[in-house]
Structure 1
């Protein structure tokens, strides 16, 4: 039977050469694999990151709702402030009308009428002199003051009926002026009802108030003068503006 001879062993040089070729192949394969992995990592890192926000729409709705709530709160607060100020204004008008009623029913109007009855004949006696001074405010004030003193200046005890009526009217105008100055009453309303009466009364009896002050009644008539001259604090919005 024919048999093939066993293969002869390869030389060391051949084995070394083959081993080197295998090493070179493995190195090339490893380099290729490393390069592929590196490219994959770079692509993964450089790829834009997209985060899915399943609640983005809900967040936008919440933000819009928060803005709307703030606006509604501001509007409600503003309306409340204006409503409060309106109620305060209504209260001042009511207090003023209460004073008007008190003027008519509390004897003040009657006292004013009695004083006018005393002033009228004296005014008529001095009508030509008053007309002669024309618009000279100082001269007119002097003449009117003299007429008023003729009614109330009969003694320094201030106990005559005319003095008592003058005190009563002064008392009312003082109260009205203070009420308006403290924003409890409405100055414009009081001025409408009592402006001419207070101005005329002060013109005649300003000197009477001076005599009262000299007699020890400090500040007597000052509020009436301020009411006539408009030196009254006006009511402000919310008491501030």
Structure 2
């Protein structure tokens, strides 16, 4: 960035010392345009860099282990639902009943490790939402990496989030807003 400022300063000095003022103004305008273009590129590169840092964080052992444990718990609860809920309900009702059972089991187990893992993951998506909203991260890049993970997590954790909101005002609201924007972007 300093080299860009130095280029502009040098250009301005040379242009101001020239005798023909219209040429001076054209050179200054060109220099400013180049500087703005380079600064915009610098900011875009920074957004991509910050986005990749979030991807690297997600791929760390801590987050992968938490997501794997949550997924394993969800599969176990789904199997319980499959074993307990009779198949004679009709396809839509059966799917809804099994989902509700799984969501309720997650809420029942919210005080243990499962709750801690979900807190960690939801907070991660809250941070992604802020990063994208403030233009600090490359939104489309993050959407490619995280949309599926967030959607799968959100389907099962809505009851958990609602129960946490009883004690923590606004819990998961940024992650929910981020998910809603991803869905809306896919529909348009």
The alignment's TM-score, normalised by the length of structure 1, stands at: 0.59
CA contact (8 A) 1:145 1:206 kept: no
Whole-Å separation in 1 of the counterparts to 2:73 and 2:21: 73
Residue 186 of structure 1: how far off its partner (Å): 1.6
Q: Which consecutive residues of structure 2, in runs of 5 or more, have no partner in the other structure? A: 1-17, 183-188
How far apart, CA to CA, are the structure 2 residues paired with 1:196 and 1:148?
18
In the alignment, the residues of structure 2 paired with residue 207 and residue 186 of structure 1 have an alpha-carbon distance, to the nearest angstrom, of 30
Cα distance, 1:119 vs structure 2: 0.9
* Alpha-carbon distance between aligned partners in 1 of 2:90 and 2:40, rounded to the nearest angstrom: 47
Q: CA deviation at 1:161?
A: 1.1
Kindly provide the CA deviation profile for residues 61-111 of structure 1, in whole angstroms up to 9, marking residues without a partner as x: 95xx32222222112111211211111111111111111111121511210
1:140 to 1:199, Cα distance in 2 relative to 1, 3 A: farther
Counterpart mapping for 1:221-232 below 5 A: 221-230=172-181
> Equivalent residues in 2 for 1:112-191 (5 A)?
112-124=67-79, 125-126=81-82, 132-133=91-92, 144-154=99-109, 158-191=110-143
Correspondence for 1:213: 165
Q: Name the Cα RMSD after superposition.
A: 2.9
User: Is 2:30 aligned against 1:75?
Assistant: yes
Give the distance between the partners of 1:129 and 1:229, measured in 2 at CA. 33
Aligned ranges 1:40-59 → 2 under 5 Å: none
Q: C-alpha distance in 2, partners of 1:74/1:129?
A: 74
Alignment match, 1:107: 62
In the alignment, which residue of structure 2 is the partner of 1:196?
148
Would you say the 8 A contact 1:152–1:160 is kept in 2?
no
Q: Could you say which residue in structure 2 is the equivalent of 1:22? A: none
Q: Answer with 1 or 2: which has the greater Rg.
A: 1
Change (3 A) 1:103 1:203: same
8 Å Cα contact 2:78-2:98 kept in structure 1? no
| Cα shift at 1:140 | 6.5
Question: Displacement of 1:130 after TM fit?
Answer: 10
Offset at 1:192? 1.1
Aligned residues: 161
Task: State the distance in 1 between where 2:165 and 2:152 align.
Answer: 20
Looking at structure 1, the residues matched to 89 and 34 of structure 2 have their Cα atoms a distance apart, in angstroms, of 55
**8 Å contact 1:148–1:204 — kept in the other structure?**
yes
SS of 2:59's partner is helix
Runs of 4+ in 1 over 6 A off after TM superposition: 127-131, 139-142
